[in-house]
Amino acid sequence: MIALRAWAGKHFAVLGLARSGAATVRALVAGRARVTAWDSDAEKRDALITPSPLPGETHLGETPAPHPTLSPEGRGLLTVADLDGLDLATVDALVVSPGVPLNTHPLAAKARAADVPIVGDIELFAQARADLPAHKVVGITGTNGKSTTTALVHHILDTAGVPAQMGGNIGLPILAQEPLPAGGVYVLELSSYQIDLTRTLDCDVAVLLNVTPDHLDRYDGFGAYAASKARLFAMQSRAHLAVVDYEAEAEHGVLDDAPEGLNIRFIDGVPLPGDPARWPSLQGPHNEQNAKAAVAVCEALGIDAATIERALETFVGLPHRMERIATLNGVAWINDSKATNPESAAPALAAFPRIHWILGGKVKGDDLNACVAHLDHVVRAYTIGEGGPRFAEVLRGQVPVAEVETLERAVKLAAQEAVRGEVVLLSPAAASFDQFRDFEARGAAFRAAVEALA
């Protein structure tokens, strides 16, 4: 795991003990910090201390346990206790999960009032860089495409034989991973929430793929959301590289706070090596944008064109992102569960001529405007989840609509109606949290329902 000697003796409060939170606690304790940790989910609290005990005593309770003093044996490093009664005057930083809404959570307000820094695991990684062998960091953000681009950059580096780790909003939490040898590259997918919790991450290459309205319940308007993404460039040093979507710069001035002397490359102007028809997992205009960004990053890291071209051809894509899971009786079944907003569903609609479209969930807005240009590809729409009635109302009169409520019913009805040469596409244009734990669980349920047809 990645830890920092300078954390020793400091006191961190950690709120949220899912994967990244639990990894954060372990890294901090490994760095000899005092940690008070809490999650409202008792199973997550228990999981932190039961399967893999940390060094030192642990205390589990509904109210804060006493904070033991450090000893030479390292006992008393971890307290698992409700943070509501924590004396923030004793805390050097509050470490929160990206899922914690900083704009509404009362503990965040208390920390701000007490002038306690509020950070996330990416900021702790940034602090730990001083103890790591010489390396570079690539940070990739954007409303859509960041997972694919992050995985593609990692794949190109791996193809080139460059030691690389992939983390952030994808894969294992970055603090849980082993440090790379000298010359390695950390490739981080960064959501706006993670950037909000980061103060000092100086990326050697920072990427902004696009900015479209999303997560507006956490921001004071679209401009504030775009400004959150732009902070990735503001943290960079002179002479490092920003790879930027031109529209994002033209419309939102995302480079306004970037340092003078920052190198800039616009994604649209990046030439692609080889023949895109030979890249089976990178089809469609959205993936052309992702590929251009990845090429710009890897060229900056010194990867030669022949290696990049070979890696583009061998990239297999990611689960839940335009993933072909079956072909039954000549009908292709595509899992695009990661499309959690209309802007990310639109490229999937553009990719196929005759689509049976399954959409709906916890909607992030009242319209499907981004998808309108491709509705002529839709044979029929099947709406599910909390947002199903709203989406059905928007689509009715433009395409045939069936309000089926559940994913399982949508699959069964689409199987009856789709004919050879057509596609059944799960591209929900909405979040999953009304009916599923996350988009991955939704995609897994879609796969299971399709497999049950065979």
The residues that are catalytic are 146, 169, 215
- HEC letters along the chain: CCCCHHHCCCEEEEECCCHHHHHHHHHHHHCCCEEEEECCCHHHHHHHHCCCCCCCCCCEECCCCCCCCCCCCCCCCEEEECCCCCCHHHCCEEEECCCCCCCCCHHHHHHHHCCCCEECHHHHHHHHHHHCCCEEEEEEECCCCHHHHHHHHHHHHHHCCCCEEEEECCCCCHHHCCCCCCCEEEEEECCHHHHHCCCCCCCCEEEECCCCCCCHHHCCCHHHHHHHHHHHHHCCCCCCEEEECHHHHHHHCCCCCCCCCCEEEEHHHCCCCCCHHHCCCCCCHHHHHHHHHHHHHHHHCCCCHHHHHHHHHHCCCCCCCCEEEEEECCEEEEECCCCCCHHHHHHHHHHCCCEEEEEECECCCCCCHHHHHHHHHEEEEEEECCCHHHHHHHHCCCCCEEEEECHHHHHHHHHHHCCCCCEEEECCCCECCCCCCCHHHHHHHHHHHHHCCC
Residues 6 or more apart whose Cβ sits within 8 Å of residue 433: 361, 362
Amino acid in position 402? A
Closest CA to 152 of 195, 207, 191: 207
- Encoded tokens for 342: 């209309």
Q: Is 413 in contact with 403 (CB distance < 8 Å)?
A: no
